[in-house]
Structure 1
Amino acid sequence: MKIILSGGGTGGHIYPALALIRQLQKVEPTLDVLYVGTEKGLEKKIVEKAGIPFKAVEVQGFKRSLSFENVKTVQLFFKSVSDSKKIVKEFQPDIVIGTGGYVCAPVVYAAAKQGIPTIIHEQNSVAGVTNKFLSKYASKIAICFEEARQEFAKFPEKIVLTGNPRAQEVASIQQSTILEEYQLKADYPTLLIFGGSRGARKINEAFVAALPELVKKEYQILFATGEVHYQKIQEELAILADKDSNVSVVPFIYNMPEVFANVSLVMARSGATSLAELTALGLPSILIPSPYVTNDHQTRNAESLTTHGAAEMIADVDLTGERLILEVDQLMMNPDKRLKMAGEAKKLGIPDAADRLVALIRELI
């Protein structure tokens, strides 16, 4: 099997592609993969570090306001389509898959125009601009939330609910003593708070404001600030000088899926990858959607869980230290409610997501 994958811009577009590749490597011994991205994008570094062959095309996204840069964007798009056609002809893939981000637009479009089967994978409840454009040309549209069907209403026959391949990678993770690496007790009620890989200013501010009360709680807290915020927050943490504190603050958590499997409650943004992992593991959560994303898609993602009783949601603008403590206590002090939410989250999970995508690929080729 020969396959081209393309996706970039954010980890939410890249990591599902890598998870799919890892699953294909398990079940397709003759797999030949090529990843197409941009030279300056996050995808180049991540994909090459994973040891996957990589080729670049030059392309950029449209500005949302009137700008001369959009003229250049159109010119680059046509050039990138031409370059993508050459890559596709040279590699001769059986199928091409786009996982989002503007870089996959010329790649999937070029493949479709050459009669090669194509799949676009939409991780969010709200479709991105690129996937909206490609939906007309793609052979199939893989979605992760039922709510995303309405985003592609013109092509209902193309839509397949597969879920996010990242879910399958975390679904089988077992409980461990990983929390001890963060100076916390293993097998103890634990709240995890984080604001994404770079952290989130509003969540950090609410945590610092709540800290004097959090250190008194009968549960423990693991908090990730984000690398860029860690030094500043360190200055606020004199209260944690006690080595036996129930609160651990770190800049970043590298083994997040394993940590997920060992905590009682998660407070976080509502990015697609995080929600795929939370539902695969059946974890209750308090979601604070980022207000800085396209089309407010994180709020829609969160609503996909809250409407089923699998999560609570707090608007970013409403998050304060007092509100944080109130919402967290209501769940951390109520194991039965957490258990019910966990069950609802588990129902929404798609733990065989990678296998579903593999089956869809085989169907098309």
Structure 2
Amino acid sequence: MSLDQPTAEKPQADTPQTGAPIVLIAAGGTGGHLFPAEALAGALSARGILVDLATDERAARYAGQFPARKLHVLPADTVRGRSPMALFRTAIALGTGVGMGLKLMRHLKPAAVIGFGGYPTVPPLMAGALARRPTLIHEANGVMGRANALLAPYVTAIATGYPGICDGNPRLKAKAYHTGNPVRPAVREAAGLSFKAPQAGEPFELLVFGGSQGARIMSEIVPAAFEWLQPEVRARLRVTQQSRPEDIDLVRATYARLGVACELAPFFKDLPARMAKAHLVVGRSGASTVAELAVIGRPSVLVPLPHALDQDQLANATAIANAGGALLMPQDEFTPQHFAEELTRLANRPDQLAAMAEAAKAMGRADAAERLADLVIRIARITV
């Protein structure tokens, strides 16, 4: 749906102290949820709108740097099994959270309640809908997650990172808006660095990361793949790699034996800047990773997390691969020999790397946070 169509319905709420409206953002504890939520919070704050954050106790530990006026902790739980006891425990946690959320709605009177996926968003969004506040969910992935699928019929509007994910349901499609995935300011800054493909004989910057569920396989496959490379390709490589602390010594020893220049760490705080310097990125395909690769415009080899119930990473990787911006490599095909073959081919094809970078960039929406903020302001009827 076009972003200039009118939507909902409720008047704004002002804080007694300042007269400024409050928007309540709900997000889980992963980067895929918190990063776009943080970007929206920044866009709303820049327009004079106060932002509070609602999440559960576990996710609250990761929200210390979130730009919110206040943090509200509501009970929540995910579905951990199909046994009656597991379902009962989940229902109790979510029901308690909704009850506390209704009290929060009466106290806070938010202009809108915005959710970014994950079960910690269910209580505040359900409470917002029951309290007849304007509500919106943002789905960052190429397929809707379970929590958002549960909430989608009840919310005022649905924002999506990819077009068309609600096309199969006319009721949801009627209130769906393709805003793109908001990215952090550091990503937008990194996007200013243009891509220059390395020519034959020039250094080749390779960035490898995988998050908490991907770093292990990257440490197993990527160093082993270098054993299959021709010496002239191997000599060009400059590797920056995320590795688990327990893997770093072995990975470093392998690279030292092969004569590969490397920088290893369990975590890189400046990952967007490192993406911008890379000639090729190897990683998982979470929504935030794919959105950042697209905004910065860098070619990638993406290895989706296998066996996920929603297959969200596969959907994300497929979308950017079909656009020509990435090479999709399922984990069962991500072998040292296969990766070495593809790395050799790309290292010898600067024209293809440049085309992939351009295709990725064409998918990116650097203004997604502003587009999402516009939608929030419109459904909440906030005057700025």
How does the TM-score come out when normalised to structure 2? 0.84
Deviation at 1:18, TM superposition (A): 0.9
Counting only pairs closer than 5 Å after superposition, residues 42-191 of structure 1 correspond to structure 2 as: 44-50=60-66, 52=68, 53-150=70-167, 152-166=169-183, 169-173=186-190, 174-175=192-193, 188-191=203-206
Contact 1:109-1:134 at 8 Å conserved across structures: yes
1:271 aligns with 2:256: no
Check 1:197–1:221 CA distance in 2 against 1; reply closer, same or farther (3 A cut).
Answer: farther
Aligned partner of 1:15 in structure 2 is 35
Q: Contact conserved, 2:166 with 2:172, CA < 8 A, in 1?
A: no
State the partner residue of 2:14. Answer: none
C-alpha change, 1:345 and 1:167, in structure 2 (3 Å) is: farther
1:337 aligns with 2:355: no
Question: Which whole-Å CA distance do the structure 1 matches of 2:227 and 2:186 have between them?
Answer: 37
1:254 alignment partner in structure 2: 269
The amino acid that maps onto 2:55 is G
Pairwise CA RMSD of aligned residues? 2.3
| Residues 312-323 of structure 1 mapped to structure 2, 5 A cutoff | 312-323=327-338
> Which segments of 5 or more consecutive residues in structure 2 lack a partner in the other structure?
1-20, 195-201
* Maintained 8 Å contact 1:39/1:56: yes
Q: Tell me, what secondary structure is at the counterpart of 2:88?
A: helix
Q: Please report how far the alpha carbon of residue 88 of structure 1 lies from its aligned counterpart in structure 2 after TM superposition.
A: 1.4
Cα offset for 1:12? 0.8
1:179-328 alignment runs, 5 A limit:
188-197=203-212, 199-213=214-228, 216=231, 217-226=234-243, 229-241=244-256, 245-328=260-343
Bigger relative contact order, structure 1 or 2 (CA pairs below 8 A, ≥6 apart): 2
- Distance verdict in 2 for CA 1:302–1:151, change over 3 Å: farther
Gaps of 5+ in 1: 177-186
Contact 1:147 1:304 in 2 (8 A): no
Percent of aligned positions that are identical: 29
SS of the residue aligned with 1:350? coil
Number of residue pairs the alignment of both structures matches: 349
Q: Which runs of 4+ in 1 moved over 6 A?
A: none
- Give the deviation of 1:334 after TM superposition: 0.7
User: Aligned in 2, Cα 1:189/1:335: closer, same or farther, shift over 3 Å?
Assistant: same
Give 1:233 deviation, angstroms.
4.0
Q: CA deviation at 1:249?
A: 2.7
For residue 327 of structure 1, give the secondary structure of its aligned residue in structure 2.
helix
Q: Tell me which residue corresponds to 2:199.
A: none
Shift of 1:49: 3.3
